[in-house]
Amino acid sequence: MSERIVLEEKFAGFSDHWNPRVVAELNGQQVRLAKIHGAFDWHSHEHEDELFFVHRGEFHMEFRDRRVLLRAGDMLVVPRGMEHRPVAESECEIMLFEPVGTVNTGAVVSERTRETLQWI
Amino acid sequence: MSERIVLEEKFAGFSDHWNPRVVAELNGQQVRLAKIHGAFDWHSHEHEDELFFVHRGEFHMEFRDRRVLLRAGDMLVVPRGMEHRPVAESECEIMLFEPVGTVNTGAVVSERTRETLQWI
C-alpha cells in the first residue's frame, strides 16, 4: 500500500476482455481495470453502486431507456438496482470503483461471470 | 445520477487550490476533484483510506520517511493513520476517492480545512 500505481503499465499487462483486474483496495472498495470490446450482458447489482471511468477509448453505457457515450476522462455512476450494459465498438480501457465482492455480471450468471479477480 | 461526468469540464469550472469539489457519491464514498499547488499540511485520517489519482500535472506525496512522485494517470492509496502531505511544484489536478465526511486536513485544523464541500 501507498505505492505508486501506474495505470499505463497495469493496462499493458493484460489483453483479454471483460476480465477485471484489481489494482487497489480501500475502505471496503476496490479499484479495478478492464479492457472491454463488444456488448456485455444486461445486469444489475442489488446492493452496489458502480463507478465507470474511461482511461482510453470510448464506450456507451446502455440503460433500458437510453444510452450514454463516455469518452476518455469521463465517468458515470450506475446506481444499485439499475439495469445496464457497457457496449464498446472498439476496445476501450476502463477503471471501475465498486465494493469488494461486487460480481461483474451482478445477479446474472454467464460465461463472462468472474467471481474471483486477479490482483495485478 | 447515471449522468456523464466530464472531468475536463468540471476542472474548468474552478481555479482555487486545496478546495475539493464533489462530483459523485456512491457506496458511502465520494469522488472529489481538487487543484493543488505548493505544500499542504501534514496530516492523517484516523478511519479513512484515501485514493489520489492525477488527472493533469504531477505532484509528490510526501510521507515521513519517503516521497512518491505521481504523474498524470498514476494513483496511490494512503492508508488510514499514515501521515502524509501532497506537494505540487506546479499546479496539479487530482481526483480523490474517499468516504463521505472525510475532512481534507484530517485531525489537523488549519486555514485550509474544508468541512463542507461544494458539489459541482
> Residue A107 has what pLDDT?
84
Task: Point out the least confidently predicted range of A103-117, B16-30, B84-98.
Answer: A103-117
What's the gap in Å between the CA of A39 and the closest CA on chain B? Answer: 19
For chain B positions 66-105, those within 8 Å of chain A (CB to CB) are: 68-70, 73-79, 82, 97-99
Q: Do B49 and A26 touch (CB under 8 A)?
A: yes
A57 contacts A93 by C-beta, under 8 angstroms = yes
> Residue A98 has what pLDDT?
96
> Residue B1 has what pLDDT?
63
Q: Which residues of A touch B46 (CB under 8 A)?
A: none
C-alpha pair distances (Å), B41 with each of A43, A117, B4, B35 = 44, 37, 33, 15
> Residue A101 has what pLDDT?
87
**Closest CA relative to residue A103, chosen from A37, A32, A36:** A32
Question: DSSP labels for A94-118?
Answer: EEEEEETT--TTTT---TT--SS-E
Query: Is pLDDT of A19 > 90?
Result: yes
Torsion of CA B34, B76, A79, B21, to 10 degrees: -10
B2, amino acid identity: S
Confidence band, pLDDT 50/70/90 cuts, at residue B77: very high
Q: What is the ipTM of this complex?
A: 0.94
A10 contacts A32 by C-beta, under 8 angstroms = no
Confidence band, pLDDT 50/70/90 cuts, at residue A1: low
Over range A41-61, report the average pLDDT: 97
Q: Do A5 and B74 touch (CB under 8 A)?
A: yes
**Closest CA relative to residue A103, chosen from A95, A94, A114, A112:** A114
Give CA–CA dist A6/A103, Å, rounded. Answer: 25
> Residue B101 has what pLDDT?
87
Over range B48-69, report the average pLDDT: 97
Q: Which residues of A touch B55 (CB under 8 A)?
A: 73
Please give the mean pLDDT across all residues of chain B: 96
Q: What is the DSSP letter of A16?
A: -
Over range B61-72, report the average pLDDT: 97
Q: Report the CATH fold assignment for A7-119.
A: Jelly Rolls (2.60.120)
Query: Is pLDDT of B19 > 70?
Result: yes
Nearest CA in chain A to B70: A4
Strand partners, B52: B76, B96
Written as nine digits, the cell of A44 is 444489475
Torsion of CA B57, B23, B117, B55, to 10 degrees: -10
